[in-house]
Structure 1
Amino acid sequence: MAVTLAEEIMLLSLDDESGAVRERQSAAWAVAGGILLDLVLAGRVAVEEGRLRVTDPTPTETPLLDERLLRIAAWAARRRRDPKVTEWLTKDHTKAVRATTDSLRARGLVREEQRRVLGVFPVTRHPEAEGATERELRDRLRAVVLEGAEPDTRTAGLVALVHGAKLHRLAFPGVPRKEIAPRLDEIAAGQWAAEGVRHAIRDMQAAMVAVMTVTVLTATT
């Protein structure tokens, strides 16, 4: 069973040794977006003009995606019209992080540890249990973004999510954002996928930028 986009983003975000989530808020938006984009790529959900709808409720046989597909279908069925992508991301982003981390643990890619902060406050951490998957992921991202390799559709989608959520430091540590931003723009807008998927990727990226902007403005007012 292939690692999902959401799981890949979570692997980039989790500190390998401490298991803490880095850039938690931005990563949460990208994780929720990754699940939605994987459902688009699987032909289960369509994203058009900033709105989403379930086009095929058939399970994908990937538990993380199928659970979310059921939730989206039930939620959307109560709406008068197709809901906005931003509405679903706002509703699901924190839950998606937990579901994705649980999926990584079930796959044996991370382990769960209970710790106490300052010896008092209990916290749950997920340090790395198997590093080969993340190494392959980072090698693939470096090849596409830093070395100019042609991305496949899923990698292009992953790059667009990382770029939209401003997770450059997690994906490319030590590389200044301004040095890779033009290449990230090129990949996100490129002709790497069918037209419908390209439009979905563009809409997903725009939705993440929108919800993150609202979050920042709310936090500063």
Structure 2
Amino acid sequence: MHVTLAEELMLLSLDDESGVAKDAATAAWAVTGGILAELVLAERVALDDGRLTVTDRTPTGEPLLDGRLARLDAWVAGRRAGRAKAADWLTKDRSTAVADAVGRLCERGLVVEERRRALGIFPVRRYPEADGSVERELRERLAATVLHGVEPDVRTATLVAVLHGTRLHRLAFPELPRRKVEPRFAEIAAGDGAAESVRQAMRTMQLTMAAVIAATSAATTAASA
């Protein structure tokens, strides 16, 4: 089964049994970045120096991506020339990206939605695993690439780049300290051997993801202070 990068990131985040997202706030940035990265790989969007351009409006055939492509196209059209910044789009899209990615996983039968009320009052939704085959293949692929030196394909390298940019290494390898895997993540994320356009996009995605997370963390810290 072919799933999108955003769905793969969501699968890594969701606890198989409880259905609760681990590192939920940061994972939301990763999922949002995964959708954008997939559109770049599909050659529907160009990412240059942190700015976005829609280069092809042709649908990809994947509902999660095509819905975003239409919204992104309208958003870019409403911005002044050169002002469509990736960081601004990620900030705007983050509020709905997780729900849409989880919804797609439910449609595929990979997770199931459970609704309950915390303290008998507050509605809570959780998404435990229903079919673990896709996540198992994903984790095996990441292990082969990161731990055993197998050369990754472009999509796997991009997935690694997003995880590295958001510092979510432990979602892929929860039992290993980050210092054990981070050097290999960084090596893969550098994009050596990839086409120049892909390498530049991967680098820009990393910098953009790191920047928006840092800005959000700073704002949260200032507000709490």
Asked if the contact 1:14/1:22 (under 8 Å) is kept, the reply is yes
Give matches, 1:32-181, under 5 Å.
Answer: 32-82=32-82, 83-181=84-182
Cα distance in 2, alignment partners of residues 192 and 41 from structure 1 = 15
Cα distance in 2, alignment partners of residues 35 and 135 from structure 1 = 21
Asked if the contact 2:191/2:198 (under 8 Å) is kept, the reply is no
Would you say 1:199 and 2:217 are equivalent positions? no
Identity %: 60
Counterpart secondary structure, 2:187? helix
Asked if the contact 1:153/1:192 (under 8 Å) is kept, the reply is no
**Displacement after TM superposition at 1:89 (Å):** 0.5
Cα distance in 2, alignment partners of residues 190 and 80 from structure 1 = 31
Whichever residue aligns with residue 79 of structure 1, its letter is: R
Q: Unaligned regions of 5+ residues in structure 2, if any? A: none
Once the two structures are superposed, what CA deviation does each residue of 1:39-65 show, in whole Å capped at 9, x if it has no partner? Answer: 111110000111111000000000000
TM-score between both structures, scaled by the size of structure 1: 0.98
* Structure 1 equivalent of residue 211 of structure 2: 210
Once the two structures are superposed, what CA deviation does each residue of 1:129-171 show, in whole Å capped at 9, x if it has no partner? Answer: 1000000000000110011111000000000000111111111
* Structure 2 equivalent of residue 16 of structure 1: 16
Whichever residue aligns with residue 97 of structure 1, its letter is: V
Whichever residue aligns with residue 211 of structure 1, its letter is: V
Counterpart secondary structure, 1:80? coil
Asked if the contact 1:151/1:192 (under 8 Å) is kept, the reply is no
Cα distance in 1, alignment partners of residues 157 and 67 from structure 2 = 24
Whichever residue aligns with residue 42 of structure 2, its letter is: A
Once the two structures are superposed, what CA deviation does each residue of 1:12-68 show, in whole Å capped at 9, x if it has no partner? Answer: 001111111111111111111110111111110000111111000000000000000
Counterpart secondary structure, 1:61? coil
Asked if the contact 1:29/1:93 (under 8 Å) is kept, the reply is yes
- RMSD of aligned residue pairs (Cα, Å): 0.9
Cα distance in 2, alignment partners of residues 61 and 95 from structure 1 = 20
Counterpart secondary structure, 2:56? coil
Counterpart secondary structure, 1:220? helix
**Displacement after TM superposition at 1:119 (Å):** 2.7
Counterpart secondary structure, 2:170? helix
Cα distance in 1, alignment partners of residues 196 and 156 from structure 2 = 16
Q: Unaligned regions of 5+ residues in structure 1, if any? A: none
Cα distance in 1, alignment partners of residues 12 and 185 from structure 2 = 17
Cα distance in 1, alignment partners of residues 120 and 146 from structure 2 = 42
Cα distance in 2, alignment partners of residues 63 and 95 from structure 1 = 14
